A and B are shown apart, each in its own frame.
Chain A
Amino acid sequence: MLPPQSVLEHMNPFEHPFAQWLEQLEHFGRLPAADRQAVLDLPHRLRRLDAGAYLVREGDIPRHCAVLAKGYAFRQKLTGSGARQIMAVCIPGDAVDLQNMFLDVSDHSVQLLTQASVADIPREALQQLVRNRPAVGTAVIAVTLVESSILREWVVNVGRRDSRARIAHILCEFAVRLETRGMIHDGGFELPMTQEQLADATGLTSVHVNRVLKSLEVDGLISRRRRYIHFDNWRALQDVGDFSRRYLHVEDHDIIDEAS
Chain B
Amino acid sequence: MRPLVIENHPLAALARRWSRHTELTPHDRDALLAMPFTRKAYSKDGYIVREGQQTTECCLLLRGFAFRQKLLSNGTRQIISIHIPTEFVDLQNGLLGTADHSVQSLDRCEVAVIARPVILEVASSYPNLRMAMWIDTLIDGSIFREWVVNVGRRDARARIAHLLCELALRLEQIEAGRHGMFDFPITQEQLADCTGLTAVHTNRTLQSLRKDGLIQLTARTLTVLDWDGLREVGDFDELYLHHQAGTGAR
Contact = CB atoms under 8 A, between A and B. Distances in A.
Contacts of A99: 138, 141-142
Nearest to A165: B74
B15 to A, nearest CB: 18
A141 B195 CA distance: 28
User: Could you tell me the dominant secondary structure of chain B's interface residues?
Assistant: helix
A102 B134 contact: yes
Contacts of B228: none
A79 B153 CA distance: 7
A127 interface: yes
Interface of B: 21, 51-52, 68, 70, 72-74, 76-78, 80-81, 91-92, 95-98, 100-101, 120, 123-125, 127, 130-131, 133-135, 137-142, 144-149, 151-154, 158, 195-196, 235, 239-240, 242, 244-249
Interface in A32-83: 58-59, 61, 75, 77, 79-81, 83
Contacts of B245: 102-104
Contact of A160 (B77, B81, B133): B77
A147 B95 CA distance: 13
Given A85-B152, A102-B249, A104-B244, A148 B137 contact: yes
Contacts of B72: 156, 160-161, 242
User: Could you tell me the dominant secondary structure of chain A's interface residues?
Assistant: helix
B123 to A, nearest CB: 6
A79 B68 contact: no
B125 A134 contact: yes
Interface of A: 28, 58-59, 61, 75, 77, 79-81, 83-85, 87-88, 98-105, 107-108, 123, 127, 130-132, 134-135, 137-138, 140-142, 144-149, 151-156, 158-162, 165, 202-203, 242, 246-247, 249
